[in-house]
Amino acid sequence: MRNRTRIVEAARAALAESHVVRLNEIAKRAGVGQGTLYRNFPNREALLAEVYRRDVEELVAAGSALLVEHEPVEALHHWLDRVIDYAAIKRGVLAALEPVAWQNDLVDHGHNPVEGALAHLLDAGKAAGSLRTDVDADGVLLLIACLGRLERDEWEAKARPLMNVILDGLRRQDASMARPGAGRRVGR
């Protein structure tokens, strides 16, 4: 089990750098032989699918955990930060697996639990009165999906600022902020 975890973590790190993942490189990073890698993952697709599944599970579990530690908007902010990290990996996995992903239902495995975790965070914010009530998880996921249009070399510079725009758009505005011109930042 320990080797399997090390292999998945090595694959995750490699995917964060490039969508081109070579199994011999993964074995070296994990500090295991190729035989050990193939005993745990019979092929590249099985390894990449496991990286994807684990990332989805971690992202989904983070939603409830963050709500225990933070107010709803702050929890959502931390969760969206994780989405940025997750999406960098997911893009790599889906790029590498695209023809297989549709056959393996990886996309469905990821979408429904992620949508549920996001809905839980949004519902908490709505109940607290800090998030808009006219937006649902499906709509927010559509906005987040637009980040997938960013090129790999743009990701670091643009993904988080754009995600902050999404978060700002989800915040409930009080009456004073809703007036035209109110809330403008000085010097802008």
Q: What is the pLDDT of residue 170?
A: 96
pLDDT band (50, 70, 90) for residue 188: very low
pLDDT at 91: 65
Global confidence as pTM: 0.75
CA distance 78 to 169: 16
Is the Cβ–Cβ distance between 36 and 130 less than 8 Å?
Answer: no
3-state SS, residue 171: strand
Q: How much is the pLDDT for 99?
A: 45
Each residue's pLDDT tens digit, 91-142: 655 554 444 444 455 555 556 888 899 999 999 999 999 999 999 998 998 8
